[in-house]
Amino acid sequence: MRIKPLYQKLSLAVFSLAGTTQQALAALPTVTPPSTGAAGTDYLGTFKGYIKDGSIIIGLILAVGALVWIAYHILQDLHEVRTGRKEMGNLVMSVIAGGGVLLMVMFLANQAATIIT
């Protein structure tokens, strides 16, 4: 018995919103076209452009993740040097290896971005 008034209120709310959707949709901004790919009525080219842009963003997120992971590892080694568990040479090697990995990640991300676009 209590469900019927709930459905009535819900249907009244949906009906009242249906009358205002035309006004709400009238002021929507236009969709930003992708940086690459065709614009206009070529939907397949536009979709490919969005995929390219998304893959570049995913690559950048992975590169930032590598940077954070290496920085965390170096800070962890610094802590272990301060507590006496490791020597300073281990920290220096971590910094050199981490820098090399970061250079490689940046190089590969740049090459992938130029190949994709």
d(CA 73, CA 94): 8
d(CA 56, CA 112): 8
Q: Quote the mean pLDDT of the chain.
A: 83
Give residue-wise pLDDT tens across range 38-94: 666 778 888 888 888 888 889 889 889 999 999 999 999 999 999 999 999 999 999
Token pair 């992938």 is at which residue? 112
Three-state DSSP state, 85? coil
Q: Tell me the percentage of the chain whose pLDDT exceeds 70.
A: 81
The residues spanned by each domain of the chain are 35-116
| pTM metric for this prediction | 0.63
